Structure 1
Amino acid sequence: MTFNVMQGGGARRPRIIDQIAQSNATIVGLTEIRCNNLDRWIDGLTRLGYTHIEHSCPEAAGHDKTHSVLIASRVPVQRVPLEAVEDPARWVAVYAPSLDVDVLCVHIPGTPDDKVRPGTHSLLGVERKQMMWEAVIGYVRPRKDKRLIVMGDFNTGRNDIDKTPDGTPYKCAEFIDQLDALGLVDTFRALHPTKREYTWYSRSKRSGRELNGFRLDHIFVSTALSYGIVATDHVHHVRGLVAKGGLSDHAMVMAELDLTVMALDLIA
């Protein structure tokens, strides 16, 4: 399961944790975690049985509000060190020995997310986005033949189906094709190849009404795990205006995998 908790979750955190409990997921990937309430997230998740937690918040972050990523697991996981990237707070990788599964959770920057870098040139959002996508591809390539899950908020989709027709075209959409070329399978598309369904909507600044929809949040699996895709779902009731009880501006994304199914099991 993966969920963008929106700006650290704030006062919504207890209700988000209740929703995670209802999901009964084995491994959870959360994006837009903030370091200033990290301890509360860890405490709440641990109480649910997620006793193995890795996150990207710097050790001395304190009250820092930088968007970060967290993986919470019911089974033991080992942190996987990654090569230096421009936005290290936006991804976490682990390995679950008992499942023999590698997991990467990412929050790829959006095109508007420019970044000021003191002492050097600033980065445009599209530059940050491309750099992180390149890093994701670099992580996937040597693991493509293993049991691999890559999930999170990608701020990216396919322009022909993963947005409403009037929605702004995605930048870096070609990287979705690169994942496909490496054998990664979009769990939602595996079961719903032509369905138009979205995890985030732009809104009118004046009225707050939803405008264009985009499928930004995904769970991809390697070919080795794709044979065991049982179910996928977008949990939409959590998405909405906070003032009206919404938990986030994103839908929660679920995928159920049968890790015992192998390619040979499907050969008659």
Structure 2
Amino acid sequence: MVIGDFNILEPTHTPRYRFFQPFEYDFYGWLGQAGYQDAFRELHPDAAEYSWVGRTGDGYRYDHAHVSADLVPAVHGCAYVHEPRTGPDRLTDHSALSLNLSLRPLAPLPVTNPTRAADRMPLF
């Protein structure tokens, strides 16, 4: 998974902003060439969502979650949570991005009783 604020737009972003350079759009394409797919677009091919909105009201989808082709079937949700950006506390200038995957563990994790000294493993 490659997740974060990339400060780039997908090449099909609407509206198309002329001040973005081809190399900025090319990075988004490079992720696809490297085998990663936009999880949000997989679930919402035509949605117009923006994770950042400028002072002029122009919206941009800067925040992305790309997953490898093997993980695409495990993607069960990918959505923007706008409250951190738009809520009364305005915690950030970006919307949060939620990615939900349905995965099986490769092996069970050992579970021990943390209150028993014999079960504790030293850190070093």
Q: Which bracket does the TM-score occupy, shorter chain normalised? A: 0.7 to 0.9
Quote the RMSD (CA, aligned, Å): 1.8
Alignment deviations for residues 217-244 of structure 1 (CA, whole Å, 9 cap, x no partner): 0111111111100011100111138xx5
The whole-number CA distance in structure 1 between the counterparts of 2:45 and 2:16 is: 21
The whole-number CA distance in structure 2 between the counterparts of 1:151 and 1:228 is: 16
Alpha-carbon offset, residue 193 of structure 1 = 0.8
- Between the aligned residues of both structures, percent identity stands at 33
The whole-number CA distance in structure 2 between the counterparts of 1:155 and 1:168 is: 15
One-letter code aligned to 1:199: S
User: Quick one: which of 29, 46, 55 aligns to 1:177?
Assistant: 29
Q: Greater CA radius of gyration, 1 or 2?
A: 2
Give the 3 Å change call, closer, same or farther, for CA 199–232 of structure 1 in structure 2.
same
Aligned twin of 1:201: 53
Structure 2 SS opposite 1:173? helix
Aligned twin of 1:189: 41
The whole-number CA distance in structure 2 between the counterparts of 1:253 and 1:168 is: 26
Conservation of the 8 A alpha-carbon contact between 1:167 and 1:214: no
TM-score when scaled to structure 2?
Answer: 0.74
Q: Which runs of 5+ in 1 are unaligned?
A: 1-148, 205-210, 261-268
The whole-number CA distance in structure 2 between the counterparts of 1:168 and 1:248 is: 26
Matched, 1:221 2:71: no
Determine which structure has greater relative contact order: mean sequence separation of CA pairs < 8 Å that are 6+ residues apart, divided by chain length.
Answer: 2
Q: Which runs of 5+ in 2 are unaligned?
A: 105-124
Conservation of the 8 A alpha-carbon contact between 2:3 and 2:64: yes
One-letter code aligned to 2:7: N
The whole-number CA distance in structure 1 between the counterparts of 2:89 and 2:42 is: 32
The whole-number CA distance in structure 1 between the counterparts of 2:98 and 2:18 is: 26
